[in-house]
Structure 1
Amino acid sequence: MMVGFAFYRDGGGLGFSTRLFFFLAFSLIVTDAQKSINPAEEGVELMVLAESDFLWDDDNWTVSGNASNFQHGTRMIKAADDGPDTWYFVAPGKFTGAKRAAYGGKITFKHGFFEYNSEGQDAQRDAFDVVLVSEAYELVIGYRNLYPAWEFRSEHSVELLESAGWISNSTGGPPSRPDMVRVLTKLSSIRFRGGIYHGHEDAYLMSVKLYAGPVDS
């Protein structure tokens, strides 16, 4: 921040205006420095720990479960199914491992369908839409009801905090803070649900990013 003041000298010493200038300038510098090192401040961008934009290829993503025709598309990956089975897009190694820095951060992504058939039934809501797994700590933490029913495209931003709506698979309730930290510290897998309907689906995933949280979280 640049601020200008008019000031003068009283004889050989510093006058009141000069001292006022130094005080205000120092205060502004300290204030700006405090703002610049506070990552939780609104408008400050979080660091991206891993991302896949699928510009050139599938970026080593895979699928798990009963999905078929997995392939790379235009800035996306996609796969299909012909029934009610749950299946997932599985993130590559750059999204896993030691990701303690992601605590307090977020996962963002886009998900959608080229087509779907509900077979006259509601969307399936029992399974997790996003799943975090730590084999080392035997933890599975997931997030339900992210995908809106009857929509062809949706964007999501999910905070990586125990209070953000995550569910511990072992308890059926919110994870504790230590468990949320543990699952990220030794993260074995991140999975994103592909289909939610009972009939045929052709689903896609786009623009996945994993962000770090505040430094002091």
Structure 2
Amino acid sequence: MIGRYFLLVVGLLALPRAEAAAPLSLHSVAQVSAGGEVVISLQGYDQDIGTQLTATITKLPTDGKLYQLSDVHSKYGYDPKKGVEITSVPTTVVDAAKGKTRVLYVRPSVDREGAGDFDRIEYTVADATVTSTAGTVVIVGDGVNFRASDFSADSEGWTIEGNRVAGSSVTHEASSRGSLNHYVYGTDDSLNMAGGNDQDLWYFSAPSKFTGWQGAYYGGDMKFTMSSFSGDFSASNLNADTYLVKLFCQQCDTNKGVTIGFPMSATSFDGSTKTFTISMVETAGWLRDPENTLEAWTVPTKCDFVEVLSGLTSVQILGDFTKWYESVSLDDVSFGKSSAVSSIPFCAQGTPDASTCSCTGGFTS
């Protein structure tokens, strides 16, 4: 009996031990008024129940300042909140409150809300053995805009793609035209005619500030205003089967690339001034390009949509609506939300770029 017991114990010891699950640094959104401050909770998650996580700041804000919480605020919630300033990375977060990892973000005293988000910071969390990949905290103002172009001073790096010269600049207009106030516009420079129709489509292409990791767009809205100075927008002259917006991610689907478009068939444009509002969820009418001309575009999955937003290579808005020459203007482009509550689904946060994703079903806030 003793011999059998000894063999059983030895056998159990010889079994491979389960690897500790890597913790997650969850993406989140924090809201602060101009000139104000906000305590940010770094939302780490660990599947291993009861594990104590430590947080480390890995990317500092570019405009505001970041601080450790003071001991008195950390323990009792009293002012002052501000402790030691965090001026270099990596820096471990020190929070005296058990089970919490918080920092203080402070805006400059002379401040105003701009067209997009205020700042972004990145952090990791770690248990006793494993460190997570980085999570992003997007810090927004009262308007809850993540990225925006109002063209108040210049064209902000927007270009034209698909026209005569790829990447040619748009024209900036520093005046008003109806509801447009400081805007950009593009025109058809050439026609590639076949069967009486122009075969080429041109798009307004967003600058780099709109691309890269933009997972925070998910669950919000894309808004922009368009108008036309010239062109025949009668139904018979409109380009059919076109896409008002195209989002492209080069690294998605294991570097095969994924394009998601919002079809013109889901909306309309007759050349008169119109503000478009498009919901940034997969069930709002978006379609995924099959990358095969013989197959139809299909509704993207939640994983498709979040992955594209988490690695955007380009954002394009249609300018070429008709089969002939036209001039089209663009103003007040923004990605934002009605509140600062993050809508990035937990099931898509296995990796920062959402390439590891287990989401099923439609959008839920």
TM-score by length of 2: 0.44
The 2-side partners of 1:166 and 1:93 are apart by 22
The percent identity for this pair of structures is 27
The 2-side partners of 1:147 and 1:205 are apart by 17
Partner of 2:185: 78
Partner of 1:13: none
Runs of 4+ in 1 over 4 A off after TM superposition: none
Change (3 A) 1:199 1:160: same
1:109 to 196, 214, 224: 224
Partner of 2:311: 186
| Alpha-carbon distance, 1:173 to partner | 1.3
Change (3 A) 1:102 1:118: closer
Change (3 A) 1:76 1:156: same
- Kindly provide the amino acid, as one letter, of the partner of residue 288 in structure 2: S
Does the 8 Å contact 1:77/1:205 carry over to 2? Answer: yes
What secondary structure is seen at the aligned counterpart in 2 of 1:200? coil
- Kindly provide the amino acid, as one letter, of the partner of residue 170 in structure 2: F
Structure 1's unaligned 5+ residue stretches are 1-44
Partner of 1:200: 325
Partner of 1:64: 161
What secondary structure is seen at the aligned counterpart in 2 of 1:121? helix
Does the 8 Å contact 2:155/2:170 carry over to 1? Answer: no
Which is worse superposed, 76-85 or 145-154? 145-154
Deviations 1:1-46 (A, max 9, x none): xxxxxxxxxxxxxxxxxxxxxxxxxxxxxxxxxxxxxxxxxxxx76
The 1-side partners of 2:235 and 2:305 are apart by 38
The 1-side partners of 2:235 and 2:276 are apart by 26
Change (3 A) 1:182 1:123: same
Partner of 2:287: 167
Does the 8 Å contact 1:131/1:141 carry over to 2? Answer: yes
The correspondence of residues 2-41 of structure 1 with structure 2, limited to 5 A, is none
Does the 8 Å contact 1:46/1:105 carry over to 2? Answer: no
2:239 to 124, 134, 149: 124
1:215 aligns with 2:335: no
1:140 to 254, 259, 265: 259
- Kindly provide the amino acid, as one letter, of the partner of residue 57 in structure 1: D
Does the 8 Å contact 1:121/1:198 carry over to 2? Answer: no
Deviations 1:157-205 (A, max 9, x none): 1111000000001161110000000000001110000021111101111
Higher relative contact order (CA closer than 8 Å, sequence separation 6+): 1
Does the 8 Å contact 1:118/1:198 carry over to 2? Answer: no
1:87 aligns with 2:218: no
1:154 to 274, 288, 295: 274
| Alpha-carbon distance, 1:132 to partner | 0.5
Change (3 A) 1:207 1:183: same
Partner of 1:32: none
| Alpha-carbon distance, 1:153 to partner | 1.5
Partner of 1:37: none
TM-score by length of 1: 0.73
The 2-side partners of 1:179 and 1:46 are apart by 28
What secondary structure is seen at the aligned counterpart in 2 of 1:186? coil
Structure 2's unaligned 5+ residue stretches are 1-141, 175-181, 192-197, 291-295, 345-365
